[in-house]
Structure 1
């Protein structure tokens, strides 16, 4: 029964993925028009600049992801008292492994190295 459920969920996810790919195709003309500045039909007078640093945006997204994962840890820790301790322990280890693995990956990619990118722009 568990295997059939797994196959059903896998097929359903595959169907949704195929539908997403088929329905999300858009003509390239519309994509370029959406990325231009709105100047009432005239050509833009200047190049648009980013209102904030993309590096800052990445740090904010990482903060939100790790904050949500930390908030998800609280119910797991509090449910140790009322459930099967072994399964809860495995769930906690699984979530913490994903959290720490993601942190090390971002660290290795250099996303968390804020000062080196700042200093390289100054020189």
Structure 2
């Protein structure tokens, strides 16, 4: 037990030192205004390079990521079915899917899934 604790402390210490070294050596102190400005074929840009994006598109992307993670959580349910108690597996699977459906219904009623052009 003492050996595992000492090895984990040593690994933590080495990784902390490496992160501090990497962050201190990678700092760039020279900030040039010309290098930080947007570049359009050698000319000054006609409009702002920071064009605002659609907030609705951002919300759709976030919802997609959330449901993508939920699918990754659903996939192991079939594998677990063979090794667990069937009744407990059924109740937990139905509960998880019910919570997901409630979330989908809420997003649908809020209008976040309607694509407005």
TM-score by length of 2: 0.55
Partner of residue 7, structure 1: none
Q: What stretches of structure 1 of length at least 5 have no aligned partner? A: 1-37, 40-45, 119-123
**CA–CA distance in structure 1, aligned partners of residues 61 and 106 of structure 2:** 16
Which structure would you say has the larger RCO, counting Cα contacts within 8 Å and 6 or more residues apart?
Answer: 2
Backbone CA RMSD of aligned residues: 2.1
Q: Which has the higher helix share?
A: 1
* Higher Rg of the two aligned structures: 2
TM-score by length of 1: 0.53
Tell me the CA shift for residue 49 of structure 1: 4.1
What is the number of equivalent residue pairs in this alignment?
Answer: 73
Q: What stretches of structure 2 of length at least 5 have no aligned partner? A: 1-35, 38-47
Q: Write out the 4+ residue segments of structure 1 that deviate beyond 3 Å after TM superposition.
A: none
